[in-house]
Structure 1
Amino acid sequence: MRIKWFSLIRITGLICVLLYHFFQMRYTGGFIGVDIFFTFSGYLITALALDEFSRSNKFRLGDFYYRRIMRILPPLLLMIAFVLPFTLLVSKDYITDLPKQLAAAVGFSTNIFEINTGGTYESRFIPHLFVHTWSLAIEVQFYLVWGFILYLLTKITPNVKKFRIRVFFASAVLAAVSATVMYLRAQSLSEFSPIYFSSIAHIFPFFIGSMLGSIAGIQDLLPAFSNSVAKHWNKAGAVTFMVLNLACLFALAYVLRFDQRKTYMFGFLLASLFAACAILGANILHRKTPNTKEPFIFTYIADISYSVYLFHWPLFVIFSKIYPTWLAALITTILSVLFASVSFYFLEPLIRGKAVSIGKHKITFKHIVAPLGLGLTLAIGLGVYLCLQAPSISSLEKNLLLGGIQQDADQLSTTYVQAAPKPPKKENAQNSAQDDGATIIGDSVTLGSRKYLLDHMKNVDIDAEGNRTMDKAYNVLMNAQNSGRLKRNVVICIGTNSLDDYQQQTEKVIKDLKPGHHLIFITPHDGHADSSYNSYKLAVWERTLPKKYKFITIGDWDKVARAHQNLFAGTDGTHFGGRDDISKLYLDCIKDALTRAEKTPVKK
């Protein structure tokens, strides 16, 4: 039995995800599309289990696992086979760690792989081609756990009524535990990807769907629900209720941000509740429109939504590095729909042993054995070749790693020199070269260009580190200041990884810097940022500081970079380590700020 209007739930989830990946700067919360899918899956699986138990008083766990794996695995393998040839269009950076990526994807453990390797969902480096399969990993992990729990409940439950009650309360408890874990973990983290990828913290949408499934199933319904639908709902009310909740989901997709704590404390929970209410509305509308046929376009998009989700991400990652964003999104959408249609309507049924009719011809699996075998052989061969060619880290990560190693070596050498005995200073000695130079404290952007800066600047110390925020920069500043290593000009190149309290952190730097120094802030540049990003807000706020503090100078790297955005082609839009053309612009920006700083007073 197919419930009409459920297609709109799937379509909403797909649109949210596509808008987020294609136009991340505008639809900053579209990642909740995955939570819509999670909630719907939890609902559907539980409702079907209740129907099966109602019919036969049994729940066949082996059959359940077989159906799930046959629905998920074939499209996944087909996606990998279709996508791999396109990787030849871009640099090897895009197949970084490919063997492990593939193993994690087909082993349904991408979420664990990303957590263990420090991956981020909003990668600022080269994004993994198959990072989006983290959601499949959590889904399969849910099926394994929940399917077994349902099986155990059927063994101790004599009738459908008690089974429904126990399923509801088991779902409620597990949803509450998972949502609480996410809420508590969000309190103390600055990097949210480990929570986002976590099975324990992010599995609650499934169980919210399961709670609904135990009440408003597909065929077997709670009597109270059937009576309520018959007495208190009409078609207009059902439409209004469903559309209102879908509108709330789109609103969340527009306002939520991945790097905001409130998203994890409340955002995902709200998205799951709105999705559950939309599912409920669609269920009621189905029962109130028995003679209405659902438009084909709805069912078509819903049918291919899972495969479109699989195809779109790796294709967009590849094409977005070749074409402008709008064109890459268009090409990705066309190819994803084409490949997904072939997969869902042709290859998947044949693989499951069903016949497919094309015109007057009926095709069975035996008709495609030879071409499918040849295609898979070529795909496996290409996959092996690409795995052998795949670097373990991208060129950008390699540049940052080497920069970090060189920085450690330089700091060790400096410590050795400072520890050596020194002749006593003359009492009337004026400011030394040490005092007149510059101390630069930066993040991964500075770290990537550290060698270039050192080669083209004199009397400068650079301390840079990836993912450094202003509070960590403050600690570096205080250590240098307390040990007497801080030079006269202090350059702060921080902000790409800005947290919500960026103003307080920056004010602390300004307040605790000792007198006798110039303070130079280099505004952060993130090629993906718009006015809603903290890095963008920080740059705007930093530009106001010289009016308040005469010893502060601004080097407007964000303005310079945006004026030369074409030079960032082939990068992630933010980092440019190893690119001398952009490194020179960065150097000139810092030098210009230092020159202007010398015309201002030091901190009194």
Structure 2
Amino acid sequence: MPEVEGFPSAVRVPGKRVDGIDGLRTVAVMTVIFYHFHEDALPGGSIGVDVFYTISGFVITRLLVAEFARTGDIGLWQFYRRRWLRLVPALLVVCALTALLSLAPVPTFKHGVSAALLAAFSLVNLVRAAQSGGYTGVTAPLGHTWSLGVEEQFYLVWPPVLLALLRRLKARTVLSAAVVLTLLPVLWRYHLWNSTAAHRIYNGPDTRADQLLAGAVLAIVLARLAPDDPWRETMRTWAARLWLPALTLLALMVWQVQITGRSAWNGPEYTVGFLVTALLAVVVLTSLELLPRSPLTRLLSLAPLAWIGRNLSYGLYLWHYPLMHLLGDLGVKRMLFPSTLLATFIMALASYFLVEEPCRRLKQRGRGKPEGPGGRGSHAPATVLPTAVGAPGRAR
């Protein structure tokens, strides 16, 4: 089938890997892990989840648009097969061990079987969204997988919607439609917002979709611009001007803005704040894409950061939370953070080499060639307004 007009860049550079984006994954996941141990030091550390969402929306949409630009279609079955192989086998290993721990006298894992089943079917976020008070223990040992549920529910809906738009509309109109879809969750959050709706807004796939769609919009914009398009140069110029202010604002939010629990930031954050965070992440992503020689890109492209983000970020996110609770229940207190971090890296490495790499080879065998960067996992909240889901020692 001939190449489809309207996406020249997608045809030239389909699914290219950007080391700086992988390095950004590392920073995001380590921010979330640190936040789960030291909420008071980084009250906005859950913003690492928001950054992951925007990265995922960008990367997945770039792959889908590139496929459509080359073939005039998107193989939805193959897409879902690749997503399943990328995300689910490693998750199932964590779920299986969590279920087994429910047989041991470990308090947090009392509901390990129910938590494992909910996590395996990407339902933790929906259960938490329905809880107006404090989160119950039914999801406790795998409470962090709420964010994976949001992401996987997005993966179910967005590809067929994007395919329908691409088939029926011109490229410019597809972009406009994506922008409108990105703004709708903000209006929906304004409609829903009150202090008892915090769990509903924080965990809902519909109320967090704008963060993924903001990345999707960036992917569509870049796919539409040929390398010599003057608009690409304009984006490059503004990215050079704005990446440092955007990164500074994100850092300040992580340091000072309390996202979960009662605070003066609740109203702004739970209405427009999620989109603001996503737009700041979009600026950073644009700079990583278009400014390969910028100080930020060079820093995040350092081999250790890029390798961890590319290969271990998902495993680190999956394992840190149950290991944190397991070691805490076993009496590790003063050295809980370093002990958990070491155990998490060991389990993430094992997951990568024993589960994720074999599954990646299966993906390539089914596709006929290596896949570009894929979406990764993400992160978490809990009383009438959410408190930090990962703080050690809290009742869940």
- Shift of the 101–350 alpha-carbon distance from structure 1 to 2, 3 Å rule, reads same
- Shift of the 107–295 alpha-carbon distance from structure 1 to 2, 3 Å rule, reads same
- Shift of the 224–37 alpha-carbon distance from structure 1 to 2, 3 Å rule, reads same
- Shift of the 318–262 alpha-carbon distance from structure 1 to 2, 3 Å rule, reads farther
Distance 1:225 1:336 in 2: 45
1:225 Cα deviation (Å)?
Answer: 8.0
What is the 5 A alignment of 1:190-589?
190=196, 192-216=198-222, 220-223=223-226, 226-230=229-233, 233=236, 241-257=242-258, 258-259=260-261, 260-286=266-292, 294-303=301-310, 304-323=312-331, 327-353=335-361, 572=394
Q: Residue in 2 aligned with 1:141?
A: 153
Distance 2:168 2:191 in 1: 34
Is the contact between residue 198 and residue 385 of structure 2 (CA under 8 Å) also seen in structure 1?
no
Is the contact between residue 215 and residue 225 of structure 1 (CA under 8 Å) also seen in structure 2?
no
Distance 2:218 2:385 in 1: 39
Distance 2:385 2:59 in 1: 40
Bigger fraction of residues in strand: 1
Q: Structure with the greater relative contact order (CA < 8 A, sep ≥ 6): 1 or 2?
A: 2
Once structures 1 and 2 are overlaid, which stretch shifts more, 40-49 or 246-255? 246-255
Give the letter aligned to residue 227 of structure 1.
P
Distance 2:21 2:145 in 1: 23
1:265-306 CA distance string (max 9 Å, x none): 3332221111111101100123889xx894220222202111
Once structures 1 and 2 are overlaid, which stretch shifts more, 315-324 or 17-26? 315-324
Once structures 1 and 2 are overlaid, which stretch shifts more, 32-41 or 165-174? 165-174
The answer to whether 1:154 aligns with 2:155 is: no
1:204 Cα deviation (Å)?
Answer: 1.1
Percent identity, aligned pairs only? 24
Q: Residue in 2 aligned with 1:116?
A: 130
Q: Residue in 1 aligned with 2:92?
A: 77
Counterpart of 1:16 (choices 31, 49, 57) is 31
Q: Which aligned runs of 4 or more in structure 1 are off by greater than 6 angstroms?
A: 124-127
1:264 Cα deviation (Å)?
Answer: 0.9
1:227 Cα deviation (Å)?
Answer: 3.1
Is the contact between residue 110 and residue 137 of structure 1 (CA under 8 Å) also seen in structure 2?
yes
Give the letter aligned to residue 342 of structure 1.
A
Is the contact between residue 61 and residue 148 of structure 1 (CA under 8 Å) also seen in structure 2?
yes
Distance 2:361 2:304 in 1: 26
CA RMSD of aligned residues (A): 3.5
Once structures 1 and 2 are overlaid, which stretch shifts more, 274-283 or 322-331? 322-331
Give the letter aligned to residue 51 of structure 2.
I
Distance 1:231 1:240 in 2: 11
1:311 Cα deviation (Å)?
Answer: 0.8
Is the contact between residue 242 and residue 282 of structure 1 (CA under 8 Å) also seen in structure 2?
no
Is the contact between residue 242 and residue 278 of structure 1 (CA under 8 Å) also seen in structure 2?
yes
Once structures 1 and 2 are overlaid, which stretch shifts more, 321-330 or 68-77? 321-330
Is the contact between residue 90 and residue 318 of structure 1 (CA under 8 Å) also seen in structure 2?
no
Q: How many residues align?
A: 353
Distance 1:72 1:341 in 2: 15
Distance 1:79 1:61 in 2: 27
Who wins on radius of gyration, i.e. which is larger?
1
Distance 1:41 1:279 in 2: 11
- Shift of the 124–351 alpha-carbon distance from structure 1 to 2, 3 Å rule, reads closer
Instruction: Mark the runs of 5 or more structure 2 residues left unpaired by the alignment.
Output: 1-15, 366-382
1:5-39 CA distance string (max 9 Å, x none): 11232123212211220101221111111111111
- Shift of the 31–231 alpha-carbon distance from structure 1 to 2, 3 Å rule, reads closer
- Shift of the 90–27 alpha-carbon distance from structure 1 to 2, 3 Å rule, reads farther
Q: Residue in 2 aligned with 1:44?
A: 59
Counterpart of 2:116 (choices 82, 99, 102) is 102
- Shift of the 207–73 alpha-carbon distance from structure 1 to 2, 3 Å rule, reads same
TM-score, length of structure 2 as denominator length:
0.78
Q: Residue in 1 aligned with 2:177?
A: 170
